[in-house]
Amino acid sequence: MTPDSVPALTRNHAVTAIAIGGLVAGAIDLTQACILFGWDIPLSIARGLIGARADQGGAAIYLLGVFLHFFIAFSFAAFYYAVSRRLRFLVEYPLLCGLIYGAAVQEVMSLIVLPLSALHARGPYSLHELIQGLLVHMVVIGLPISFSVRKFAR
């Protein structure tokens, strides 16, 4: 291996870790959301960007919601990867760090993303909703991302 190939190899590992982590987390999260809340969840996601126009439905708006969902999942995977380059314990302890990261993702979504979206969702949330959201995101978002980074971006 030449010194010139090291940056390309590192970049390839980053892309792989982010792509697999974001894809797995996004797919599991979207599937569980559709099972729990109905198959029109992508329309609700699109509503967060374009507002009430998403209620018109249609394939394009549905696909926009799916795209936005995966964009967010890949963004959270990229953030975890970037931080893991400085905080190596994120790679060394993926179970604990993934669970904590998933809880943090839930809080960022609830306290920042949703209130700033066209949905303006601010709660109040029931205790059941809070616990369910935390547990789901800890497992279906945090763990796939943390283990993907551990596997592909050491």
Model confidence, pTM: 0.90
Q: What is the DSSP string of 13-56?
A: HHHHHHHHHHHHHHHHHHHHHHHHH-TTHHHHHHHHHHGGGGGG
The pLDDT tens digits for 75-112 are 999 999 999 999 999 999 999 999 999 999 999 999 99
Check whether 2 has a pLDDT greater than 70: no
The pLDDT tens digits for 34-44 are 999 999 999 99
Which one, of 43, 23, 62, 38, lies nearest residue 140 by Cα?
Answer: 23
DSSP 76: H
Domain assignments of the chain as residue spans, ordered by start: 5-40+74-152
Check whether 124 has a pLDDT greater than 90: no
The pLDDT of residue 153: 85
